[in-house]
Structure 1
Amino acid sequence: MKLGVFLVLFGGRPFEEALDLVAAQGLKAVEIGTGAYPGNAHCNPDVLLENKAAREEFKKAVESRGLIISALSCHGNPLHPQKAIAKEFHDTYVKTVQLAELLDVPVVNTFSGCPGDHEDAKYPNWPVAPWPNDYQEILAWQWENKIIPYWTEWGKYAADRNVKIGLELHGGFSVHTPATLLRLREAAGEVIGANLDPSHMWWQGIDPVQSINILGRAGAIHHFHAKDTTIDPVNVNRYGITDMQPYTQMLDRAWQFRTVGYGHDMKTWADIISALRLHGYDYAVSIEHEDGLMSIEEGFTKAVRNLQQILFEDSAADMWWV
């Protein structure tokens, strides 16, 4: 496995300075934002797609520091019901896939998107209850008319370019659980897999180890984010897991994101890493820091130190004792 980081964490620093910082911590991989929600501070597809020399310089900057690009990331909502918004996210996705092919990056990370509830809707609609039956009708319409057709076409677009799509299982989007990921994968093909982030499993009440078991048996884990979550035992009883308070309301929220090791202990994280190895995942473990109690530098550094204790770097040995 390769310990890495989602480089948007250092979007305020010049590209090579950010790479130096990452390499100095002993990391081996970077995941780089190309636009949409992550922004494109370090990687502008419009520039790199048109300029071979710029692409070569970009790639050399990474590789000369002993790093790989584990993924290009363009998290957005290409299914947004407002067509102008959807087009912007979609165009970024297409350019990101094209750039991934040219840079030999095997994975593009994004969200599945979430449509509205009819053709003339203005805002996304995320059904989370089976009754009243209106919600079931909305859900069926979304999957049959928007989600499956889009990803069948644009998943194939990526597959034709030897690029896999890592969908982050994130609340507010149509694919947010192992089951919804496998549903889309069955319809759109094996190009679709998870950019699995345990933090989003915990707050939905899903055991990350079991999510790895479910998706790992299907070969459906394309990338992995390392981020933690803590659930407040008092506030969750008041607000529930669908707490709509801003993330800044840390004293009152039911749950919040934390740096690795500050939501769950390292035995729990060791179980997660072991489950990944058990199912043959031997790729990037990409740190994502969204901890409101720590600075970027401190949260990143603590996550690195915690993960370095438990990450598998060597290949498994033959079972010499058998």
Structure 2
Amino acid sequence: MKLGVFTVLFAEKSFDDMLNYVASSGLEAIELGTGGYPGDAHCKVDELLLDEDQIKRFKEKIEEHGLSISALSCHANPLHPQSNIAKPADELFQKTVQLAAKLGVPVVNTFSGCPGDHENARYPNWPVSPWPHDFQEILKWQWEHKLIPYWKEKNDFAEAHNVKIGLELHGGFSVHTPATLLRLRKECGTAIGANLDPSHMWWQGIDPIEAIKILGNENAIHHFHAKDTIIDQTNMNRNGLTDMTDYSNMRERAWYFRTVGFGHDSKTWADMISALRLMDYDYVVSIEHEDGLMSIEEGFNKAVQTLKPVMVKDSVKEMWWV
């Protein structure tokens, strides 16, 4: 397995400075944003697609630093009911898949999207209750008329480019749990899998280790994020897990993100790494930092310090003791 980082952390650094910083930290992989919510500070998809020589130089520079690209990421909402939001997200996804194919990057990460509740809706609708039955009708319409048709087409598009789709299981989007991911995968194809981020499992009450087993048994983990979460039980008792308190108001929130090791201890992270290996995941663990209590550099460095000792670098090829 390799330790990497989602380089949106370092959007203020130049491409060269970012590569130097990541390599000097002893990491082996980078995940690059191509637009959407992550931005495109280090990977201009339109420029690269138009220039094969630039693609070659781009790859060479990364390789010169001893790094590889684990994934290209274009998180957005391609199913947003407003076409001026959905269309650019869809176009960005397709361009990102094309660029991944040219770069030899095996995974494109994004969100499943979340539609509205009818054709003339203006905003997404994320049902989280089975009753009253209106919500079931919304959910049925979203999956049958929006999610499945869209992702069937994208699954085939990704397969044609020899690229896998890593959907991040994230609240506010239609695919947000192992069950919803496996449903979409069953309906649309096996190019679709998870970009599994344990931070979003914890706040939903899901044990990430069990999520790894559930998805791993279906060979449905395409990429893995390393980010932590802490639950403030007093605020959870008041606000519940679907807390709408602004992320910046951490004192009042039921849960908030922490850097790796500050929500759960290193033994928990070691157990997750072991579960990934048990499920034959032997790819990149990509650090994502959204800790409101630490600077980017401090949070990143503490995540590296926590993860390096528990990473499994060499897979067992034969059990010599059996």
TM-score normalized with structure 1 length: 0.99
In 2: Cα distance, 1:249 partner to 1:31 partner: 29
Three-state SS of the structure 1 residue aligned to 2:109 is strand
In 2: Cα distance, 1:317 partner to 1:261 partner: 30
In 2: Cα distance, 1:34 partner to 1:317 partner: 36
Three-state SS of the structure 2 residue aligned to 1:257 is strand
In 2: Cα distance, 1:59 partner to 1:117 partner: 43
Counting matched residue pairs gives 322
Shift of residue 61 of structure 1? 1.2
Shift of residue 317 of structure 1? 5.0
Residue in structure 1 matched with residue 82 of structure 2 by the alignment: 82
Of 264-273 and 214-223, deviating more is: 264-273
Residue in structure 2 matched with residue 163 of structure 1 by the alignment: 163
Residue in structure 2 matched with residue 201 of structure 1 by the alignment: 201
In 1: Cα distance, 2:116 partner to 2:155 partner: 21
In 2: Cα distance, 1:119 partner to 1:61 partner: 46
Matched, 1:129 2:124: no
Residue in structure 1 matched with residue 185 of structure 2 by the alignment: 185
Residue in structure 2 matched with residue 101 of structure 1 by the alignment: 101
In 2: Cα distance, 1:128 partner to 1:195 partner: 22
In 2: Cα distance, 1:275 partner to 1:238 partner: 33
Percent of pairs with identical residues? 67
Segments of structure 1 that go 5 or more residues without pairing to the other structure are none
- Written as runs of structure 1 = structure 2, the 5 A alignment for 1:1-322 is 1-316=1-316, 318-322=318-322
In 1: Cα distance, 2:265 partner to 2:77 partner: 33
Segments of structure 2 that go 5 or more residues without pairing to the other structure are none
In 1: Cα distance, 2:226 partner to 2:198 partner: 7
Q: Which amino acid aligns with 1:86?
A: A
In 1: Cα distance, 2:315 partner to 2:140 partner: 44
Q: Which amino acid aligns with 1:76?
A: A
Shift of residue 155 of structure 1? 1.3
Q: Which amino acid aligns with 2:82?
A: Q
In 2: Cα distance, 1:317 partner to 1:308 partner: 22
Q: Which amino acid aligns with 1:4?
A: G
In 2: Cα distance, 1:134 partner to 1:283 partner: 42
Shift of residue 318 of structure 1? 2.4
In 1: Cα distance, 2:228 partner to 2:34 partner: 24
Q: Which amino acid aligns with 1:318?
A: E
Post-superposition CA distance 1:4-60 (Å, at most 9, x none):
000111011101110110000110000000001100111111100001111111111
In 2: Cα distance, 1:207 partner to 1:16 partner: 38
